Each structure stands twice: as C-alpha cells, then as structure tokens.
Structure 1
C-alpha cells in the first residue's frame, strides 16, 4: 500500500484478503477436498503479507495454480494498492497477461497504458491490472510564460533557484577535525512541506532584480513516474494482469487480433510487445526449434558421410515426427499441459529414435553387402535387431514409469517431459519396426525406377537379387 495509507485502510484490505481466503476454503470444503493447513497474516506498516500453508500434494485434490486463480478472483481488485503479488511457486513466476511498450515520449506511454488498461478491465476474469508507471508521486512541471525570456530568465535558472530554496544552497564550509561542516541556506521545514510557498517565492534575475515566480511560469500538476525503465535508448513501460478464466488463449487472440490493431493506430509513437508467461515459453520453444534444426542438419551430414547415401539419413530421421505425435497423444491421455519441459522430452525421445533406426538400417546394409536382396535383407535385419530395438525402448519406458506415476509435488513439473519421452519412444519404436523397413523398400524401388528411365544410358541397370 502507499506510504500515506492509514492504519484503518490497511486493516480493511487485510479483511478483504481474509474474506477471499474464507471463500476459497468454503469452495474446497464444498468439493470435499482439502487444501489449507493454516493461514499466517502479517502487517508491517503499510505492507501486508499473507501466507497459506497447504496440505501435502498427495491429499490436496486441487491444483495449486487453480487455487491461486480462485483466490485472486475472490479477493478481487484493490485499486489503491501500489503492488499486488500472488506467488504459488518458489520460482520466479511471470504474470499470465503481460505487455511491454516502448516510446521516447513519457506521456505517449502513459496514454497507451491507460487505453489498454481500460480495455482489459472489460473482460470477465481479468484482475489485478497494474503497470510500471502507477507508483510515482504527483510532480509539478514548470513552463515559462510567453515573454518571460525578455526578463533575462530561462527555465534552467528558474529550476535551479527553486531547488536551492527547497534543498538548500551551500554558503560556507567550516573545516573541523574529522570532516568539514557544510552550511546551507534554505526554507524552514514548515515552508518546505507546503506547495503554497511557491506563491511567495521570488526569482533573482542576472541584473539583480527579484521577480515573483508565479508571474513568469505556469505550474502544471501531473502524475509523476517513480522509476523510468529504458531499453536501447527508449523508455519502456509494462502492464501486467492475472486471469482466472478457463480459456486464456482465446482471450489473448481476441486482444491481439481485434483490439491491438486499433490501439496501434491511436498510439503510433508507441511500440508494442508481450511480456507474459506465454511469451517466455514461445521464445524458448523458438530457440529450441532453431537449435534442433541445426542438430538435425549436422546429424544428417554425418550419417550421409557414414552411409555414403543421401536417402538413408532421411529414413533414419523419418521416425522423429512420430515421436512428436506420441508425445502429444501422451499429453492428451494424461491430461498434462504442454510446457517447455515437454519439448525437452521430445528431443530426448528423438535421440532414442535415431539410435534405433541407425541399428536397423546399418544391419540392412550389412546384409545387402553379403548378397541378399533388398526384401530379404529387410526381413532378416528386422529379425536380427528386433530384440535390441525393443529392449532399448522397453528399458527406457520402464525406467520412466516411477516418475510418470509420481504424485509428489517435487516431481510434478517433470511429468510433461517424462510423458513426452515415454510415449515418444513407444510410438517411434513401432514406427521403426514397421514403417522404416517399408520406406527402405520404397526408396530402393524409386532408385531402380530412376536408373531404368533416366540413367540407363550412363549407368547400365544391374541385376539385383
């Protein structure tokens, strides 16, 4: 709460928080679930801290994020609060809705923020709307009146003398053992605490005349900014909010496609960007995809050199999309949320898939070198490497089962990665044993057709057994 908040108002806010906690406990009780072990409230001046200790996750019956969303909705908004923060994890948690704006003009930033805040407040479920420009105190802006410069004063000199009157001007420094004593002249404490003192303040010109301040300047009162953030030389401001609804994706799509284009037309000086949890995940996924693409390219080049073929590396890499399909299916079956850890699980599954396909294709090539036909080599390699491929996948899957079924809170955040890895390996193993051999035979037939119809005069067709 602001520093000048009365004790009565602080206690009213605490009662509002307690009422929200009571409604949350009532909801949990009606659903025959357990959630709260005890509640601890603390007030330090104008700062309110409320901690809720939850029962163990194994008997909780409600996800901690859902409980946090409901608590935010029950408490509702606290309009005069400087900052409100809900933490449902020990990690740094970005708000569900976040936007970042940048401009060289502070007033343009403030107008753009207020426009967006007004629009967000219309959506049901959006609460705790706050921005980085909310916390400044009121400031006074001096503007010279027309003709004031003919008196030999400028805005810089006026500001300097006003500062001297309120903060003091050093007139003497007395040397003493242990340090100098600085003597400053300024208004008394009572005069410094009153804005009315400005009406009696005189400004001294260069020729020694004294002119009343109010006769040469216009004073404008406007909301100030406590802290100005900059990035690449431009001022930036952020707007954050929480959302307690069920379909945040549709909400963000509506904001971006219906409101933001019109908002940009009204505020052409302001650049727009995202600053919520979704933007961090999208940035992470984009980075992972770029690095994975580079890794696949390097893998393809190495396998092309090893197998002396441009086609066979594609056969080996062909099962990776099915690993992704398996990961998505696993998330649907377990009701898990697709997160950044899910992407890491897919990458790990891709490594297992490539290893299985390498073993199979290498066995086919070795049998082909011994004189077997393509069809015979595929059948023989499948029998020869079946046990190796299946055991590799089964041991990986069995090793992941304890974590897949774990209910402890420490293992919850790893479940999406485990689901991706387990189901990705399971699906890709089936593809390796059935789909890759078929692709090998198909590629062999394509090669024969190529030789027969296009390269026969340069490369006579060989008899293949």
Structure 2
C-alpha cells in the first residue's frame, strides 16, 4: 500500500495533520521576529579615532598612518579605505567576502588586536579608537524628536532626553541609543587676553593651576592599634563655579591672582558635531536601535507607548515629544500589502480554478497553499529565519511553484474522474501517475534554487534565506500534493463531478489542430520562430538596462546642502531656513514630516558619524507610504528642484531619493589612487567636467576639496632657542587659545563635566589677537608670539583619503535612472580615461560603489544560474536516461527570458537584482511544465511504440489544461502584487513582474516548441 492510499483510507488522520500543520505554523509565525532585512554581517568594520584640535594632515600622519601600517600586514582583507578630516580619523575595512564565516570572525579579532598594538598615539587622543561592525541588525527602529516648542531651554531638553534614554533602556530588545544634538556639559574659562597679559599669566600656567586645584586622591591607610582609616586628599571643585576662585599665584604679602581676575567662567556645552531641527524647531533626536533577533514591530509599539506617556507628562512644559520616523512602519506596511495582495491573489486563484475545475477540486487545490506556507513557518526557528523583506520575496516566488504542484496533481485526478473512474480510483491512479514527473520537477527546482547558496559577498548573504524558504515550502507542498490533496479529492461525491467545460474543449481542440499544423510544417515553423526570436531578443537586449536596486516612488527624500566654505553652523542654519520653508510647502497629504541636520549631508549616515563640516546640511523628508498619497515622490522632487533654482548662496542644493536594498554605494564611484596627488587632480578635473555635462547625472562630488584659508605660522628657530622656547610651546599656546584645552574634569549626577580654557568668543574671532598671544619661557618670562613667528595664508584640504594605504581621491555622482544608469556612465568614463591613466606612472583608477557590487553580484548570480542549469541537466539526464531530452525541457528558458526583457521594456523599468531573482522563480515553473509535457510524450511513445503527428498532438493536448492552468493561476495570483490591487509596494514589483510576464511568453514555448522539437527525435 502506497503512502497516498494510506492517507486516502484515513481521512480523519489526514485532516488532523492538515489542521495541526496550519495551527502550529500560525502560532510559530506569530512568535517570529519581524524586521526589515535579515540579520546580515556585511563583513565591514569602521575604526573611528578622535584627535581634538588637529588638522587633516596631522590626523593622517599621527593617527591614520599608524593604524593602517598595522592593518596592512593582516591577511584576508579585501579593502582598506580611510579619510582623515579635522579632529577625526575614519578607517573602513572590508573583509574578503569569499572567506568562510569562522575565518572572517578570526580576522575581526586580528583587526582589534592590530589596533591595540598602536601605542604611539598623540597625547590628545585620550580615548581608544572606536571599532564598530557593520551589520543589518544594527538598523534603527525609530527616531524620536524632543523639540523646544517655544523658548529653547537646552539644559531642560537634555534632562528630558537623558531620562527618556534611561527609560528606553528598560525596554527589552532596545540596543544602541544615539542622541543627535545632545551636548555634554562644559565649563568654559573664557580668557581675556589683555587682562592675562597685564598680569603676566600664560595659558599653560592657567591650565596647570586649574588642574592642580581639582584633586580627590587616596593617600593610603592610617593604621592604629585599634582601627585603620583611609587618608584622602580632597580639593575637588564642589560646583563648576568654584573654578573662578582657583588661585593662579600668590605672594608672601597675601595678594592673590585668581582665575576670575583674568577670565570669565561660564556654564556651557560642547560644540555640536550636528545641529538638528525638526519641522523648524530646535531639538534633540533620539535614534533607537534594536538588538539582533528582536521583533521590530513589537519594539516599536513599546517605544510608541513610552512616547505617549512622555507627551502627557510634558504637554504643559513647552516640549514637543513626537515620533519623527518609525522604520518599523515600513515593515508592517510591507506585511500588510503582502497579506492583502496574497488574499486577493488567493481569491483570483480560486476564481480561475473554478473556471477550469469543479468547485470542490478548486477549493482543495487552493487550501494546499496555506498548508505549504504554514508548514514552512514551523521550520523557520530551526533555520534562524525571521519575517523580513527577503523572506517575503521567497514566499511570493514559492507560491507560484506550490500552486503548480497541486494543480498538476488535481487536474490529472479530475481528468480521470471525468473519464468515469470513481473518485477513490481516480485519486490513486492520478496521483501515482504524476508522482515520478513531479518528484523530478521538485528535485530539479530544489537543486536550482540551492545554487544560490554558492553566491558570496553582501548579496550572497542577503539572498541566503531565499532558497531555504523555497525548499521548505516545496517539500511541504510535495507532501500535501500526494497525501492530503488526494485524500480530499478521493472523497468528492460523484454528483459533484462535472464534465469538462465546453469552452475548454474548444480551446483544447484549437490547440491540437494548430499543433498538428505546425508539426506538418515544423521546419518552416522553427525557421520563422528562430528568426522572430532572434530579432526580438537583439532589440530588447540592446534596450535593456540594469540597476541593482532601482528607486521607485521612495517614501524618503534627502536634500543635500552646502553653503560657503568657512560658514559656521549658525550661519549655515540661518541660510538653510529658506530651504526649510520650501520643504514645508509640500502638501500635507504627502508630507509626514522633515528634519534638518546642520554639520553633514551624509544621507546614509544620519547620525553624522562620517564626514562633518559646519557649512554642510541635510534635510530628510519623510513622505506618507506610496499607497496613501496621490503624489509620486518623483513629482515632489521635480517641484523642489524647480523652487530651489532661484535660491542663492548655496554651492550644493540637490534632492535625491532613498535607495532600497543593502548598502552598495553611489551609482558612480570613481577612485583615483596616486603617488602624487597633483597628477590625480589633472584627471579629476577632466572626469568632473565629463560628469557635470552628462544628462541624467547629478550631485557630482569629489573628496578632493579645499577648506577655508588657514594661517600658517613660520617659526624662527634661532630666536626660539635664544628665548628658551620650543615649537611644542608655540603649538600648545595656540591650541589653548583657539581650540581650547581641557584643564580638568568633574563628575556630577552621572555626567562628566569638562573645564575648557580658551580665548573668549569676541577675541577668538579677531585675527589680530593672534599677535598678542604670549608664551612663558623656561625662565618664567612672557615672550610675545610675534617675536618668534611670522604668519602666512594657505588653503588646506578638508580631508585626505587613502585607498590601500596610498593617497587617493573619490569622485561620486547620482543618476536619473529614467535617463541613464550608473553602469553606462562608468563605461563612458572607463573608455575616455582608462588608457591615459594606465600610461601615467604612479596613477591608477578603480570603480567602486554600486558599479563594483553590481559586477560582483551579476557575476556570482550568473555563475549560480549556470551551475543550477548544469545540475538540472545532469538530474534530468540520469532520470530520463537521455542526453537530448533535458535540452528539450530547457528549451523554454530562452523564451521565458525574452518575455522578462519585453515586460521590463514595456513597463519602462530597468532590470534589477530582484528582477533576476523573480526570473529564477519563473524558470522553476517553466521547467516543471516542460518536464510534465515531455513525460506525457514519453508515456505516449512507450504506449504506442511509435510517435507520429496524431499520437504526439493527442498526447500533448492532455497536458494543455494543466500547463495553461498552472501558468494562468500563477500569473493571476501575482497580479495584485504586480499592479498594487491590495497596496502598491515598489520594492517587490520587479520580481513579480519578471515571474508573471516570463510565464506568459514561455507557456507558448512549452505548448508548441517542446512538442515540435520532440518530434525530431528518432
């Protein structure tokens, strides 16, 4: 007794298993973490080192070079990129993605050990380099704004933000918390240079006096015969204002010189790296991140509840606390859209099945879908899977495949029922007949998708869950198709069986007659088909464009701004207000909110962790989801660009959409690596000119920038020696005066307060004050700086880039994907300049960003694609015992690919990575249908011991209904997602578009091309 017969004879057991699978799957699904992307380690590490008061050149020589020297000897690194800017060094390390996980983890440890070996850092580098791994689990869940709705009281806002942070940490699942615009407390000792010179006090003397006064230190233990007591020297400041009474010097007559005699003491805050505003209000923004493995939506709900409670507490305190952006909304929105479209697809699937089959058969086929889905959910925890965009993509692909299995079995059983067999006999015979071809089809599909496991790099890690989900669903679908489905169909009453519908009989008859006609004229048919196929393919291949992750109606827009070099944050903030007013005019039906951050315009790094400049700014515009607004983001961008044209005072003012998918960089990223940076600058100017003149290319930028003019002090070494001074004395004094120097610290209320000595704000802004600075020499006399130094003006670079330890510069640009792709631009740059650069000694050019990742991903994808085809061929060859028939089965693949190209061309979309993934799903259905057709033809040939036109056409027409039915049900089931009937999600469109349209074209190939090619066999 076969397993199918066992389940048919035990319907109660069968139904219990089905119900158990659905219930277990449902409750497992409810407990799965929901997040936007799977937890992926990008194999990248960022090393950030703070070096206060230093120029980019100082940072390069004294910090970056030291760390890079240690890193360059390590094995297993793919790239080392660095940028040295004022006060900071940032080094990005990429680990070879082809290495196994355990080796990558070892390399991460080696990197940390290498950094620990760097011991010759400048004394100003007080903190160890900050090392962070780049992972998708480190994504933000929410950004909360704590804004001043009225008079800006920064100290009060800080207290609210700190309390909010403390309460956030009590929520389970909350990971890192980053506060943007939150400044640490600082006591500023603002020196009056004229008073200090009158009293003959130097900056160094003032700093030493403050440092020596603020002391709390254990002096050991006093032991006596009966007890022991600790001895503590206590001279610590009780409150910040005490520093004013600190004695600088005192004579024997009792006259004292105190800090307050030469300086003004003021409670203040550290200078901000980034200055945020929300909807025009000054604010402190709290970015909440989740821990790996925690549910993003549940965490968001808890944070929302906390925000609501704070709104009630502070509603009368001129503080506006609100959720600026909830990133979990995009996850829940995607889930809702997928759920709605899946439900509508299921309804359309049922309606389609009713057209082809009787009511009960159609119903049991449709019920096979939730069994496969819930069955896969049961296994998710064992494979570490969560509910995310990539998993949903896999489920959508698998739905077309699992419907295919159930339809083929049910249609065959239904055919035997219509021929007069009892339901039980039809179920046993029909399922048994399809077991072998479906087993082969499932096996080939599993092996085909398993080839994705061999993809490496970032994209390989992202798609890793796709084959896992599809294989799980296929296994449960196969189980359901040969156990649960036959059991249900075996108990269909004879009265429910209806003969094949008249319109279907007519379609089959037309198909059989046209097939016979083409078989009689098969040479002409093949000639016409091949010429037409060749012409269409050549046309659409030329028109095809590839964009890794195209931007389609984005919900987030970025406005990048630059004012004049040298502008302070306050000046930049004032100038940007004109842009804020224009952004605020976006219709409320489309605008959810916007935030301004002065100090950077790094769209991919809103916490300002990358390059910072006071004259840079970024406005992030949050739109309502695409299905909730009538205005497309492209129209909003065009409107903003039109309004921005009349604004003056900006060297950069451009709008760009948010880019979906893994971080791959800008579409155009050109790196020039040089021994002599001046040689690179010659090519840089030419490339920049080409890009700025190219239509469809915008936001052209280079890292090779010059900042505001700097004053260079030329020291007279002879005079310094005569007066008992060193170059370090000069450097320290200048730094004390302008950058400021942390004399001491005081810890109060869990916060460390620094005491910074520097010139007062009025004098710091006057160049003439530089000449009035004095230094105390070894004999205690004050020496004017002007006596030992002359000054000149130079332009200093804003940043210094390294690539692989060598000086480099990077040119980046964005593209309008409707006009041109990044690949096309990079190809033109390569054709124009590659040859000249190769002829120039000491200069090389490489392409990074999206171009590099696209090439890697495409190469790996097509390697996996070809590997999958080879595996399928070998399996088919062994099981069919034929070298030729596997080629017959795979002959539909080119036809399906042509259908995909036509679909993307007609819809005006570029081919994308998700489009390629959808193509894989489409090919899985095609190979299954083609295999079933060939199996049927083989059975007819074996039965009749010959194969003529009539026998072949009669055999082929038996597969007409199941093949058309599988294709139609798949296309109809995907249609709501393709065209947004239940909600439009642009991210999924390329994938479902390639699946549905490819099937439409390839079905014709399965019905006609496969039988005609089969007829050539002897």
One fold, TM greater than 0.5?
Answer: yes
Taking the aligned partners of 1:106 and 1:266, their CA distance within structure 2 comes to 11
1:51 aligns with 2:603: no
Q: Answer yes or no: is the 8 Å Cα contact 1:133–1:237 preserved in 2.
A: yes
Question: Which of 366, 381, 385 is the aligned partner of 2:959?
Answer: 385
Pairs within 5 Å for 1:94-173: 98-105=668-675, 107-108=677-678, 112-123=683-694, 126-134=697-705, 158=727, 160-167=728-735
Aligned residues: 420
1:269 aligns with 2:837: no
CA 409–266 in structure 1, closer or farther in 2 if over 3 Å, else same: farther
Which residue of structure 2 aligns with residue 304 of structure 1? Answer: 877
* Residue 335 (structure 1) shift: 3.9
1:290 aligns with 2:852: no
Q: Answer yes or no: is the 8 Å Cα contact 2:702–2:810 preserved in 1.
A: yes
* Residue 296 (structure 1) shift: 1.1
CA 125–315 in structure 1, closer or farther in 2 if over 3 Å, else same: closer
Task: For structure 2, list consecutive stretches of 5 or more residues without a partner in the other structure.
Answer: 1-562, 599-614, 745-753, 777-782
Q: Answer yes or no: is the 8 Å Cα contact 1:104–1:234 preserved in 2.
A: yes
CA 312–219 in structure 1, closer or farther in 2 if over 3 Å, else same: farther
Which residue of structure 1 aligns with residue 820 of structure 2? Answer: 248
CA 101–161 in structure 1, closer or farther in 2 if over 3 Å, else same: farther
Taking the aligned partners of 2:881 and 2:962, their CA distance within structure 1 comes to 25
CA 69–132 in structure 1, closer or farther in 2 if over 3 Å, else same: farther
TM-score with structure 1 setting the length: 0.67
* Residue 183 (structure 1) shift: 12
Which residue of structure 1 aligns with residue 925 of structure 2? Answer: 352
Q: Answer yes or no: is the 8 Å Cα contact 1:345–1:417 preserved in 2.
A: yes
* Residue 426 (structure 1) shift: 1.9
Which residue of structure 2 aligns with residue 363 of structure 1? Answer: 936
Which residue of structure 1 aligns with residue 897 of structure 2? Answer: 324
CA 70–113 in structure 1, closer or farther in 2 if over 3 Å, else same: farther
Pairs within 5 Å for 1:402-417: 402-406=976-980, 410-417=984-991
Taking the aligned partners of 2:685 and 2:713, their CA distance within structure 1 comes to 24
Taking the aligned partners of 2:792 and 2:841, their CA distance within structure 1 comes to 27
* Residue 417 (structure 1) shift: 1.6
* Residue 403 (structure 1) shift: 2.0
Which residue of structure 2 aligns with residue 71 of structure 1? Answer: 640
Q: Answer yes or no: is the 8 Å Cα contact 2:707–2:796 preserved in 1.
A: yes
Taking the aligned partners of 1:317 and 1:404, their CA distance within structure 2 comes to 26
* Residue 11 (structure 1) shift: 3.4
Cα deviations by residue, 1:280-322 (Å, 9 ceiling, x for unpaired): 5454333322211111122222222222332222222111111
CA 371–251 in structure 1, closer or farther in 2 if over 3 Å, else same: same
* Residue 253 (structure 1) shift: 5.6
CA 224–80 in structure 1, closer or farther in 2 if over 3 Å, else same: farther
Q: Answer yes or no: is the 8 Å Cα contact 2:696–2:820 preserved in 1.
A: no
Q: Answer yes or no: is the 8 Å Cα contact 2:626–2:632 preserved in 1.
A: no
Deviating more after overlay: 361-370 vs 290-299: 361-370
Q: Answer yes or no: is the 8 Å Cα contact 1:95–1:242 preserved in 2.
A: no
CA 264–128 in structure 1, closer or farther in 2 if over 3 Å, else same: farther
Question: Which of 577, 587, 603 is the aligned partner of 1:11?
Answer: 577
Taking the aligned partners of 1:52 and 1:342, their CA distance within structure 2 comes to 27
* Residue 326 (structure 1) shift: 1.3
Taking the aligned partners of 1:390 and 1:141, their CA distance within structure 2 comes to 79
* Residue 89 (structure 1) shift: 4.2
Tell me the SS of whatever aligns to 2:959: helix
Which residue of structure 2 aligns with residue 434 of structure 1? Answer: 1008
Taking the aligned partners of 2:841 and 2:651, their CA distance within structure 1 comes to 26
Question: Which of 972, 986, 993 is the aligned partner of 1:398?
Answer: 972
TM-score with structure 2 setting the length: 0.34
Q: Answer yes or no: is the 8 Å Cα contact 1:41–1:48 preserved in 2.
A: no
Q: Answer yes or no: is the 8 Å Cα contact 2:709–2:793 preserved in 1.
A: no
* Residue 192 (structure 1) shift: 7.7
Which residue of structure 2 aligns with residue 238 of structure 1? Answer: 810
Aligned-pair RMSD on alpha carbons?
Answer: 5.3
Tell me the SS of whatever aligns to 1:437: helix
